[in-house]
Amino acid sequence: MDFDSSTAEIIKALPECRDFRGLPFTVYYRNGKVVKATTSIQTTKDVRSVIAEVFA
């Protein structure tokens, strides 16, 4: 998704992402609700940790 596209506004307006200034950022959803958002480049270990935290 392009950062400056109108469809990106949905993600950029999320409270979890509102203060993010860097790219990329990742939004994790569970059952249609935001459960976590991260910014900057994440390592595989970081991503696995988030997945274990919010989807376990």
The model's pLDDT over 1-26, given as tens digits with 9 standing for 90+, comes to: 666 778 778 888 899 988 888 788 89
pLDDT at 51: 94
Boundaries of domain holding 32: 6-55
Domain assignment of residue 27, yes or no: yes
DSSP states along 4-56: TSGGGHHHHTSTTTTT--SS-EEEEEETTEEEEEEES---HHHHHHHHHHHH-
Distance CA(11)–CA(8), nearest Å, equals: 5
Tokens 């990106």, located at residue: 8
pTM above 0.75, yes or no: yes
Is 20 a member of any domain?
yes
**Total domains, the chain:** 1
Residue 16 resides in a domain: yes
pLDDT at residue 23 in the model: 81
Which tokens go with 55? 């989807």
Look up residue 53 and give its amino acid: E
Confirm whether 1 is domain-assigned: no
pLDDT for 37 equals: 94
| 25-43 confidence digits (pLDDT tens) | 899 999 999 999 999 999 9
In a domain, 35, yes or no: yes
Q: What pLDDT sits at residue 2?
A: 65
